[in-house]
Amino acid sequence: MLPHHFRHPDRLPARVVAAALLLLAGGWIAGARPRRLGAGATCWSPGVARAVAVHGGRALFRVPTAAPTSETLVVVSALTRASGPYPLRLSARPVDRAEEPAPAGDPPPAVPPQAAPELPSPSAPGHGLPPREQVFHMLVRPGDLASPSNYAPIRSVLKAVGRRVQVYVARADADRVGDDLLEDLIVTFDDRIHPVAAGCFGTARDVDGDGRFTILLSSDLDHLGGGRHAVDGFVKGADLDSSVPAPFGNHCDMMYLNTALRAGPYLRTIVAHEYMHAVVASQKRLRPAGTAGDCLEEEGWLDEAMAHLAEDFHGFATSNIDYRVSAFLSCPERYQLVVEDYFAADLLRSHGHRGSTYLFLRWCVDRYGPGLLPALVRSDRRGIDNLEAATGSRFADLYRRWSLALFRSGMDPMSARPAAGDDGYRGLNLRAPYGEWELAGPRYGRVIPGGPAECWQAAGTSSHFVLVQGSAAGAVEIEVVGPAEAQVQVTALPLEADRPRLDLALETTRAADGSLGIRARVAERHGVAVRLSGLSWERQTPGPNPHASDFRPGRLDQIGVAAAFGTAAVPAGGELTSGPIPLTGISDQTGQLVIKVLGTDPRGRPVSAWAELNPQAGPEPIGHPGGELDPLVGPG
């Protein structure tokens, strides 16, 4: 969506002080005095995370390994609010003894959380008919938001009226909008969106006093910003502020929708999302007369997170967020969580950023309750300050716990009850199908003690996940190094030694008609049998238009996997090689792909492997069965 938070034309973007402090999470994230450990020491326990001290961007710690198949998850985060990227490095070497890590010197918790505010009663519904024609001003050209020449008048006609909503259509598009779309808008808004909003987090303020919210349908949303952007909907905060003159604002509580939308669950989800933007903008910008403080605008990342959470509250569909979640999980270190202004950062159509912020706030609401959303909406704070006040927790603590929750989501069988002190998601499994997309948790790298280091570029407020293999020597020393200004945070989580490990190698193939395909080899490395359940492929960086023909993922279900490999069962320590698998919807121009293979072990625990493929590269050998996998692709 376009910048719902269009700023007052004479107001510069607020600059927020960077530097989130590190905090030791309570309960299952342990801290302790550093000391050496002898045989049988239990300071490090499988499933118990440790917050590791970082000094000057460097962390050094030793973890015991019960067996060479033991693994330790290391989550390395950059907490700075600067965009980066920052070079980070993780290396490991075998050692004979472990040590209890020095604790992270984290500050005390924040103040007690704010109570959920009492929601006001909504204004009375509208009476009488609205004007048959209206002129709305829309930003349609790129450049300075404060230049009137970048706005165009949209002459519109009234097409439908409900109790709480009225629908206008741009005169040029009057014949493109069917009655089914208009009816869906009126019924959905009157009977579902407005009542749920009123009961859960509040309603948009009736800026123009007509008792109804306005929806404007226009095909101009297909080529906004001089043709750079095609969006399904947006809200412009300046419209909700009666002090902003035309053409910068329309003095109207309203949203803009694309005439290409069709009746159905996706349309309803878009309306719910955009209406939440209007709720947030009106509550922040239009504070009651006499309220202390300046006019507020919520920071872009938290505003988008709340709009996506509103989609969950309404429950129409996941189709506006599923692909964004998958994009983020495919490369979490690329996507900065805390972005004050997506428009200024030129990240309006970066889907992975939106997936990040949704998953973060989804977890916060799961942990702190549904009252968190109205507390955020109606507070006199913004951004991290708003979140810390509403939860009573420091951002660094929230970020550490959330990063672990991303990895732990779905790691145990779905039938198992949550463990005592569970700090994960409720009802969201990041290792299961989500809409049309196969999720496999956050992508991770692997490091073998004594082998090559893992190096990456990290955005600010992002995390990278690394699995460090065990050592026959009895312990592994792990070193993380990065620039001090990145504000590095390190968390270590020993995993059970009996989990399987899959590796995936690929080669490209060509059918007789020249269409692209792959041949895949899957190997199990830890001596635990695995039954494959799916294989999927998607663009590593989704294009800006989610309706493009090559945007959606391709996938094989368990039957398709069994047909491609001859069986879905990977024996313990064994491997399978597939026949040619056509990559439906993929061409040489698609760009870098992410391939995922998924399965479960005999205890029902999920396991996955990842690989990348560049369709423009020539065919590569898959490697020899039984040997190391083709270095063309990396596991994890």
Residue with tokens 């407020």: 461
The whole-number pLDDT of residue 195 equals: 95
Averaged over 255-260, what is the pLDDT? 95
- C-alpha 257: how far from its chain's center? 23
Averaged over 437-466, what is the pLDDT? 96
| Complete DSSP assignment for 308-338 | HHHHHHHTS-STTTHHHHHHHHHSGGGS-S-
Averaged over 200-228, what is the pLDDT? 88
**For residues 387 and 397, what is the distance between their CA atoms, to the nearest angstrom?**
12
| CB atoms inside a 10 Å sphere around CB 224 | 22
Residue 486 is given by DSSP the state G
pLDDT in tens, 154-184: 999 999 999 999 999 999 999 999 999 999 9
Residue 230 is given by DSSP the state -
Q: Helix, strand or coil for residue 221?
A: helix
**For residues 273 and 310, what is the distance between their CA atoms, to the nearest angstrom?**
6
Note the maximum CA span of the chain: 82
pLDDT band per the 50, 70, 90 thresholds, residue 286? low
Contacts of 290 (CB under 8 A, 6+ apart): none
Q: What angle do CA 44, 49, 53 make, to 5 degrees?
A: 85
Residue 415 reports pLDDT greater than 90:
no
3-state secondary structure 412-468: CCCCCCCCCCCCCCCCCCCCCEECCEECCCCCEEEECCCCCCEEEEECCCEEEEEEE
Residue 2 reports pLDDT greater than 50:
no
| CB atoms inside a 10 Å sphere around CB 40 | 6
Residue 630 reports pLDDT greater than 50:
no
- C-alpha 144: how far from its chain's center? 30
In a 10 Å sphere around its CB, with 0-12 CB exposed, 13-18 middle and 19+ buried, how is residue 464 labelled? buried
Q: Helix, strand or coil for residue 219?
A: helix
Q: Are 52 and 59 spatial neighbours (Cβ–Cβ below 8 Å)?
A: yes
Averaged over 63-71, what is the pLDDT? 90
Alpha helices in 452-557 (DSSP H): none
Averaged over 230-241, what is the pLDDT? 90
The whole-number pLDDT of residue 617 equals: 65
Residue 40 reports pLDDT greater than 70:
no
Computed over every residue of the chain, the mean pLDDT equals 85
Q: List own/partner pairs for 240-245 with CB under 8 A and 24 or more apart.
A: 240/204, 240/205, 240/207, 240/278, 240/281, 240/282, 240/285, 240/286, 241/8, 241/207, 241/285, 241/286, 241/295, 242/207, 244/8, 244/9
Residue 8 reports pLDDT greater than 50:
no
Residue 13 reports pLDDT greater than 70:
no
Q: Of 22-36, 238-252, 339-353, 507-521, which gets the smallest average pLDDT?
A: 22-36
Length of the chain: 636
Residue 523 reports pLDDT greater than 80:
yes
Nearest CA among 177, 135, 141 for reference residue 160: 177
The whole-number pLDDT of residue 625 equals: 35
Q: Of 3-12, 280-289, 393-402, 483-492, which gets the smallest average pLDDT?
A: 3-12
Q: What percent of the chain clears pLDDT 90, i.e. is strictly above it?
A: 63
Residue 629 reports pLDDT greater than 80:
no
Q: Are 570 and 529 spatial neighbours (Cβ–Cβ below 8 Å)?
A: yes
Q: Are 306 and 281 spatial neighbours (Cβ–Cβ below 8 Å)?
A: no
Residue 36 reports pLDDT greater than 60:
no
Averaged over 33-39, what is the pLDDT? 45
- Tokens, residue 53: 């001290």
- Tokens, residue 123: 């204004």
Residue 320 reports pLDDT greater than 90:
yes
Residue 148 reports pLDDT greater than 90:
no
The whole-number pLDDT of residue 29 equals: 47
Nearest CA among 572, 570, 546 for reference residue 558: 570
The whole-number pLDDT of residue 392 equals: 92
- C-alpha 261: how far from its chain's center? 24
3-state helix, strand, coil in the chain (%, to 5): 25, 25, 50
Averaged over 562-573, what is the pLDDT? 96
Nearest CA among 523, 555, 519, 509 for reference residue 625: 523
The whole-number pLDDT of residue 43 equals: 77
Residue 14 reports pLDDT greater than 60:
no
Contacts of 294 (CB under 8 A, 6+ apart): none
Backbone phi, then psi, for 398, in 5-degree steps? -60, -40
Residue 64 reports pLDDT greater than 80:
yes
**For residues 539 and 550, what is the distance between their CA atoms, to the nearest angstrom?**
8
The whole-number pLDDT of residue 294 equals: 53
List the domains of the chain with CATH numbers. 17-113+299-497 (no CATH), 120-200+206-285 (3.30.2010.30), 502-613 (2.60.40)
pLDDT in tens, 457-481: 999 999 999 999 999 999 999 999 9
What is the H or E stretch that residue 559 is in?
helix 558-565
pLDDT band per the 50, 70, 90 thresholds, residue 268? very high
The whole-number pLDDT of residue 626 equals: 33
pLDDT band per the 50, 70, 90 thresholds, residue 23? very low
The whole-number pLDDT of residue 633 equals: 31
Averaged over 526-535, what is the pLDDT? 95
pLDDT band per the 50, 70, 90 thresholds, residue 105? confident
Q: Are 340 and 14 spatial neighbours (Cβ–Cβ below 8 Å)?
A: yes
Residue 115 reports pLDDT greater than 80:
no
Contacts of 304 (CB under 8 A, 6+ apart): 342, 354, 357, 358
Residue 22 reports pLDDT greater than 70:
no
